[in-house]
Chains A and B, each alone.
Chain A
């Protein structure tokens, strides 16, 4: 009986430990390897395609923070399985909120366990993963043969010491979105606006005729100033990773934009950014005539500003000087393979298929509405096929893009970038556009704080 008592006690202890300690640890592992359930419809789709294949499907875990990216990758896995019966894959995609996903990934890579095979990393977070010894797999062997066909800067931003670690979904070419109806009301033609000086003149007319601002700028975001300085070959960080916030071009650009705000030609976006509920409501009710944002912003129009359907047109940005650049590649998300992947060779083949092949790039436009990094597909007839974007903006979207194809300067993303972005977004832009402080003074102060 004594022995029995001891056994009972031991069992109780084991049970309570299991409930408290080990239970928690178990959860952690589960979370780290992707706790969210695999979408059942996808699992079914895969099992049907798998049935035809002779080989056993290789399970690949994919993390992203964009639901649409997950759907895209799943569809690419389906079509891969159809065309590669001997190399079946079972893609287990998980969408985790932006900050959460990057944090989990950092921890998983740092601790050496629990990382996915394939992962989406957002551009401004990427430098964090380049610190120390990158825990991502080199993609040089799949990228180098394609460098002639893609916008090279879109993979260079995800490289370190000539090794590429990620492939972007899109170029993120910045374009002007004009509200044609308002332009017509003011008697303006978007095609006549060639330079920023023209834009200012047109803006004054707009204000006079309609009482509405011509454009909005972000009040605590980077999407208004960065594309504008990138257009002029400048940047916030130089090639060697030094902050270059207060160069003369950067200061002049900010001074010009602030002048537009003071004149009433430009307004600061409600909600202080172009990605806020307030801005969507404001723009949707035709309160401003234009905005320049990267190509991926199209989805915000189609999804959040439905009333502007058929009214918006896409045109190149005004140049700063005649013949100057009329676009800038902004934002992006790279897909990378982690060094914890079980089968990196197969993953590279699949990644190349999904994001470097012609079919993959056409699907990126069709499913995600992005400007694919492979520019030779930009004049493919598939780009004019009717979809929600052509229905909203017209079929000439890619004509605009093709016209600025060679005017997209690369941006520098270095280790210091997240810090610089934050300083610009939190310090500089609100002080300049909300408190109306002198741009020269503000930018110098920020530059000094970054040293």
Chain B
């Protein structure tokens, strides 16, 4: 190292080498691998998908069809998919933000016994494969009397239900699966944020005689806002991107009367099951637009674009 520093002035005269050792260039060089993989695996497919959304793609025959694929979007299947995805997203937001938040506060409390045990139990579902979870939940929500959910209903004198044949009941099944799987992850986000709230704020509140609820509403919730907005953003994305859960719940077959069809499921159906790649791309581009619009709206409403005061 010493040697290198000593030699520096002598070699500085060569412009090419100066460029290579330049401090300005180094950061770009170090991020280059990311940029290359981004261009190759994200930007290129994205641009290609946009181009394909204006094409009819058949083996050996690719033709431009203008806006035809987008015009085709005006159909009941897409409407069903959009409705299901939006409904699912909305419900997951209502479940997956308040519940993990409360659980995280409880787990963070010193009064909570076995908090480490609960932390790990709540997190374990996140490590399970969705495919496996989907199969297990399909059994849980089976229609026979012996299925777990139906046996549970029998305890209250309610008769067996065909969970996966009604729009409402199957949405409930999807939400149970989503909650089981994602609560742990969101708890983790909230826990890490909670640990960053300085304890002297709570101590000061204690001195002022604030109760638990006041402390929660006036200190915890406002200080958790950045992380809450982050969780909100990824949950919106996650809700609209949901596919595997519904795919597995109906065993890879289309759900009756599209009750489990999501937008990504529709892309899969059109693109790969019917080999309508052009139309599939058009759905994908539309989904990108929808997710972007919803996320932007949410960020504007939560004031994330305002300058910090």
Contacts and interface: CB of A to CB of B under 8 A. Distances in A.
A131 interface: yes
B132 to A, nearest CB: 14
Contacts of B165: 219, 272, 430, 434
B308 interface: no
Interface string B263-290: 0000001001111010000000000000
Interface in B122-179: 139, 142-144, 162, 165
B34 interface: yes
B36 A98 contact: no
A117 B263 CA distance: 34
Given A6-B20, A427-B257, A276 B251 contact: yes
Interface stretch (A36-44, A52-60, A101-109, A138-146): A101-109
B42 to A, nearest CB: 11
B59 interface: yes
B17 A6 contact: yes
Given A103-B272, A110-B277, A278-B143, A134 B59 contact: yes
B17 A2 contact: yes
A132 B61 CA distance: 6
Contact of B258 (A110, A276, A282, A426): A426
A430 B257 contact: yes
A449 B76 CA distance: 9
B110 interface: no
A2 B20 contact: yes
A114 interface: no
A134 B272 CA distance: 16
Interface in A161-188: none
Contacts of A33: none
Contacts of B27: none
A318 to B, nearest CB: 28
A128 B253 CA distance: 17
Contact of B143 (A6, A134, A135, A271): A271
B33 interface: yes
A5 B20 contact: yes
Interface in A115-130: 125, 128-129
B120 interface: no
A131 B58 contact: yes
Given A427-B257, A434-B256, A1 B29 contact: no
A17 B274 contact: no
B41 A2 contact: no
A451 B256 CA distance: 20
Given A1-B4, A17-B33, A220 B275 contact: no
Contacts of A6: 17, 20
B295 interface: no
Contacts of A271: 142-143
28 contacts: A1-B3, A2-B7, A2-B20, A2-B21, A5-B4, A5-B21, A6-B17, A9-B20, A13-B29, A17-B32, A20-B37, A21-B37, A24-B41, A99-B272, A99-B273, A129-B59, A129-B275, A131-B275, A132-B58, A135-B59, A272-B143, A272-B256, A277-B139, A278-B144, A426-B258, A427-B258, A434-B162, A434-B165
The 10 closest A-B pairs by CB, nearest first: A132-B58, A133-B60, A430-B256, A16-B33, A128-B275, A20-B37, A132-B59, A132-B61, A2-B17, A103-B272
